[in-house]
Amino acid sequence: MQDILQTIIARKQEEVEALRAPKPSLREALFASRTGIIAEFKRRSPSKGWIHESARPDVVPIGYQQAGAAALSILTDEHFFGGQDDFIRAARRAGVTLPILYKNFVIDELQLYQALTCGASAVLLIAACLSKTKCAELISKAHGIGLEVLLEIHSENELEYTELSADCIGVNNRNLGSFVTDVQNSFRLAERLPRDRVLVSESGISDPAVIRDLRAAGFRGFLIGETFMREANPAEALSRFIAQIQE
């Protein structure tokens, strides 16, 4: 009979190797996609309260994948957004194989390990939350443990952060102080963003025609949450949206 401890250690080695295995690439998925949609699982927000309180993380994300999303974003902040790390685990158990963005307010490297162990492919870093030095440290650490980085900026004042080695650069069209949304923010910043990274427009996108215009401006990723999550069936809403883009 095999020693029980040896059996346990063998299993642990398998689990560690699974953590080290390459994750599906957000950058590559967006670059290759015809739509570039990062469909977001978000049940509530600080400014609007509950958006879709009963939405299930084992149902909506896999539905997004089947509907044609290029990647997923899953809110994991619990206090303000009603999220959990377990939402990503639930999505993976349900069969999601797409890249998943760990969307939270990451300020410490411990949170990078949280993202890794729950099954995320990439992590969001928000320039407004971090000094440039701290942001560079977190990018380096994320890359060191096999995570990609979507670096989010909002204004011209944060353009210097795009010099860092993030895999994707996002422009948030929602002001994180006032929560006012203006998709023109992406167009204003487009020409000043590095073209050697995948560019992502985030928030406030509800019109398929805007996707076409943003693509013409250089964007390849489009993070959309509330447009879909306010519907009874978010996956069906995504499917209709994609059909309109491709018309």
As annotated, the active-site residues are: 40, 42, 103, 152, 172, 202-203
CA distance 171 to 200: 6
Class of residue 129 by CB neighbours under 10 A (exposed 0-12, middle 13-18, buried 19+)? middle
Helix (H) or strand (E) holding 236: helix 234-245
What are the DSSP E strand ranges found in 90-164? 100-103, 122-126, 148-153
- With a CB cutoff of 8 Å and minimum separation 6, the contacts of 232 are none
Q: Is-contact 223 200, C-beta < 8 A?
A: yes
In 3-state terms, what secondary structure has residue 37?
Answer: strand
Side-chain-side CA neighbours of 164 within 13 Å: the count stands at: 31
Concatenating the DSSP letter of every residue in 169-201 gives EEEESB-TTT--B-THHHHHHHTTS-TTSEEEE
Q: Is-contact 38 221, C-beta < 8 A?
A: yes
